[in-house]
């Protein structure tokens, strides 16, 4: 895993903490479990005395390992890679039933966004030199698989009163249980400029909500000494420009799958196309765009997101 990450210039640890979380009340009744999974860092934070905690962590871990064997675009032996190599076109018919909802959500987002979101970018990513020995699959669910894995793991877990859990897979978070969590939205410019505040805002997340962040600063493609965005415009195949970060909050009806898929889609669309897209197709999702203007940071939020942002460190415009 590390070699792939280094090849790409990915700073996975930093990405995994795209949202740094702290408890609303005390910090000391929480426990965090962390391990590498699905090409990033998986983290589970638990508050309250959960029964069978070890068993719960094992179930989350097993869910991610299982889904990696199905959905990885890196691993040539994964189900996705094998089907892509065979030239699969009817994905929904070909894939295992347990991952079909992930493909369905991805294909729907592609249709609705008129291919701004487009799993076929895997082909371009491969020609840009991603993956070892050209093994990167031509069909890529990297923009949605981690969110799907979080929802998949969440289904294996039940929480009792006053128990609370936060699943985080590479910056895709979902809250389970009644207690709220405060999430800091990372300032994408702080990793290159220590004078910038670490966070651009804070949001409080409640039961069932998910949040996903897509960013350009800590994860990118190095090509001929140049840094290119790892998020491509699926309509043109070109690396995107202009946006440094997008954060999406979704209610439980949408889940982490859509938070993940939407953060990438809205990264490509930008606020001008993205806000009407959201209002048409996903009106319950909240979005924040951070334009790539480090010297004059500003936040562009949907109205509902603007109402949720606390302690903003830059001016907020609404769309």
* CB of 143 or CB of 275, closer to Mg ion: 143
For residue 216, state whether it binds ligand AMP (rule: CB under 6 A).
no
Which residues, in sequence order, are bridge partners of residue 201? 185
For residue 140, state whether it binds ligand AMP (rule: CB under 6 A).
yes
Mark 129-148 with x for binding to Mg ion (rule: CB under 5 A) and - for no binding.
Answer: --------------x-----
* CB of 184 or CB of 245, closer to Mg ion: 245
* CB of 141 or CB of 200, closer to ligand AMP: 141
* CB of 30 or CB of 172, closer to ligand AMP: 172
Q: How many CA atoms lie within 13 A of 257 on its CB side?
A: 22
Q: Which of residues 231-260 bind ligand AMP (CB under 6 A)?
A: 231-232, 234, 260
Alpha-carbon distances of 103 from 106, 142, 239, 247, 261, rounded to whole Å: 5, 11, 23, 22, 11
Binding ligand AMP (rule: CB under 6 A), the pick from 63, 190, 264, 302 is 264
For residue 268, state whether it binds ligand AMP (rule: CB under 6 A).
yes
Residues 242 and 292: beta-carbon distance below 8 Å: yes
* CB of 124 or CB of 159, closer to ligand AMP: 124
For residue 39, state whether it binds ligand AMP (rule: CB under 6 A).
no
Q: Residue 121 touches which of Mg ion, ligand AMP, none (CB < 5 to 8 A by kind)?
A: ligand AMP
For residue 117, state whether it binds ligand AMP (rule: CB under 6 A).
yes
Q: Which of residues 207-266 bind Mg ion (CB under 5 A)?
A: 260, 263-264
Give the whole-angstrom CA distance, residue 197 versus residue 195: 7
Give the whole-angstrom CA distance, residue 21 versus residue 15: 13
How many residues interact with ligand AMP (rule CB under 6 A)? 18
Give the whole-angstrom CA distance, residue 190 versus residue 195: 7
**Please, which residues have CB within 8 angstroms of residue 43's CB and are 6 or more apart in sequence?**
16, 32, 33, 34, 166, 167, 168, 169
For residue 75, state whether it binds ligand AMP (rule: CB under 6 A).
no
Give the whole-angstrom CA distance, residue 128 versus residue 165: 38
For residue 263, state whether it binds ligand AMP (rule: CB under 6 A).
yes
Taking the complex as a whole, the smallest distance from the CB of residue 145 to Mg ion amounts, in Å, to 9
* CB of 81 or CB of 210, closer to Mg ion: 210
Q: Residue 140 touches which of Mg ion, ligand AMP, none (CB < 5 to 8 A by kind)?
A: ligand AMP
* CB of 147 or CB of 297, closer to Mg ion: 147
Taking the complex as a whole, the smallest distance from the CB of residue 232 to ligand AMP amounts, in Å, to 4
Comparing every residue's Cβ against Mg ion, the nearest one is: 264
Which residues make up the interface to Mg ion (CB under 5 A)? 143, 260, 263-264
Which residues make up the interface to ligand AMP (CB under 6 A)? 117-119, 121, 125, 140, 142-143, 214, 230-232, 234, 260, 263-264, 267-268
């Amino acid at each position: 895993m590390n070699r792939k990450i280094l090849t790409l210039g990915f700073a996975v640890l930093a990405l995994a903490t795209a949202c740094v979380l702290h408890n609303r009340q005390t910090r000391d009744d929480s426990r965090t479990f962390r391990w590498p999974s699905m090409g990033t860092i998986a983290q589970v934070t638990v508050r309250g005395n959960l029964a069978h905690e070890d068993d719960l962590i094992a179930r989350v871990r097993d869910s991610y390992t299982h889904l990696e064997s199905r959905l990885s675009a890196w691993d040539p032996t994964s189900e996705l890679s094998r089907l892509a190599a065979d030239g699969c076109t009817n994905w929904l018919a070909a894939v295992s039933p347990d991952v079909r909802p992930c493909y369905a959500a991805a294909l729907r987002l592609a249709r609705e966004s008129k291919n701004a979101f487009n799993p076929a970018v895997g082909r371009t990513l491969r020609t840009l030199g991603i993956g070892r020995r050209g093994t990167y699959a031509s069909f890529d669910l990297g923009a949605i698989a981690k969110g799907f894995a979080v929802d998949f793991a969440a289904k294996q877990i039940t929480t009792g009163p006053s128990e609370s859990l936060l699943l985080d897979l590479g910056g895709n978070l979902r809250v389970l249980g009644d207690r709220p969590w405060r999430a800091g939205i990372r300032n994408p410019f702080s990793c290159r400029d220590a004078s910038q505040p670490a966070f651009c805002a804070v949001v409080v997340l409640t039961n069932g909500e998910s949040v996903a962040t897509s960013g350009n600063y800590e994860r990118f493609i190095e090509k001929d000494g140049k840094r290119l965005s790892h998020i491509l415009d699926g309509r043109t195949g070109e690396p995107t420009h202009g946006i440094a970060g997008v954060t999406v909050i979704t209610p439980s009806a949408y889940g982490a799958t859509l938070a993940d898929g939407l953060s990438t889609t809205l990264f490509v669309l930008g606020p001008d196309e993205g806000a009407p897209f959201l209002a048409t197709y996903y009106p319950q999702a909240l979005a924040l765009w951070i334009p790539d203007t480090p010297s004059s940071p500003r936040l562009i939020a949907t109205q509902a997101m603007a109402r949720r942002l606390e302690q903003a460190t830059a001016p907020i415009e609404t769309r």
